[in-house]
Structures are given as C-alpha cells and as structure tokens.
Amino acid sequence: MAASRYRRFLRLCEEWPSEDSKRQRDLGSFLRQRVAQAFREGENTPISDPEACDQMYESLVRIHTNFYKNKYPRLKDTTFTGVTVEDCRTILATDILKQMEDMKKGTWKRLREKFSAKKPEEDSK
C-alpha cells in the first residue's frame, strides 16, 4: 500500500508546476523536498499514519486542481487595493524582493558593504 501512495505523490510532484521567478521559494519545490524526506526509502517506506498521509495527498490535489477557486469563483481578479494577480506575481519575484531589500539599506551601509568586501586577488596572496 505504501508503494501506491508513493507513486501518487510522485505523480503529483511531476504535475505540480515550478515557478522560475520564485527560485527555491515556491510551493512546488517545497513539495518535492518534503516528499523526498517523507519517502526516503521510496516504495519501501513504512507509513506510520496512512489516514493522515491520504488526507495530505487529497488536500494537495485540491490545491493543485484549484478546487476552491472553481467552487467559489471571484467576481473580480483584483484585491481591494486594485492590484492584479500579475502585479502580485511580479512583486513577489525573487529578483524584485532582492532589489527591495537593497533599497531598504541606508546609503552608509551600502557604501560600507561595497568597500569592505575583499577582492579575490587579495585572498590568493
């Protein structure tokens, strides 16, 4: 029975898309890591709580198939602030978040980091 559960989770991991804009921060990557941890022995992994495992799988399938999005459709694709889904994706991209972190730093801190970093030539001497 553990083998069929393992295969179902693997199939779900294959179907789950990964977002390139959120390097190592997207749900697909996290799911793949957790499945690898939970099923370390592959099909031979003993499952201590099969009911909880099945519930987890069903919950992930509902998320993957947009069950609740389809069951409860929204009237508009924006938030109360007027931000669209595409704008949210852009804002949450890893590169944009990195730029925002750099902008939060003060001028003095940025200058200090820039000039305090050692050059590779100095390390080899």
What is the extent of the structural domain holding 36? 1-73
Confidence (pLDDT) at 58 = 95
Instruction: Give the DSSP letter of residue 105.
Output: S
Do the domain assignments include residue 69?
A: yes
Residues 13 and 61 in one domain: yes
d(CA 7, CA 14): 11
Number of domains the chain is built from: 2
For the stretch 43-96, pLDDT in tens is: 888 888 889 999 999 999 999 999 998 999 888 777 777 778 777 777 777 666
Same-domain status, 51 and 84: no
**Statement to judge: residues 8 and 62 lie in one domain:** yes
**Which distant-in-sequence residues (6+ apart) come within 8 Å of 63 by Cβ?**
27
Enter the tokens of residue 78.
């924006």
Residues 65, 85, single domain; the answer is no
DSSP 8-state secondary structure symbol assigned to residue 24:
T
Assigned domain for 125 exists: no
- On the question of pLDDT at 21 being above 70, the answer is no
Instruction: Give counts: helices (H), strands (E), the chain.
Output: 8, 0
Judgement on whether residues 14 and 42 belong to the same structural domain of the protein = yes
Specify whether 12 is located in the same domain as 66.
Answer: yes
- In this structure, are 53 and 17 located in the same domain? yes
pTM: 0.60
Q: Per residue in 93-104, pLDDT tens?
A: 766 667 666 666
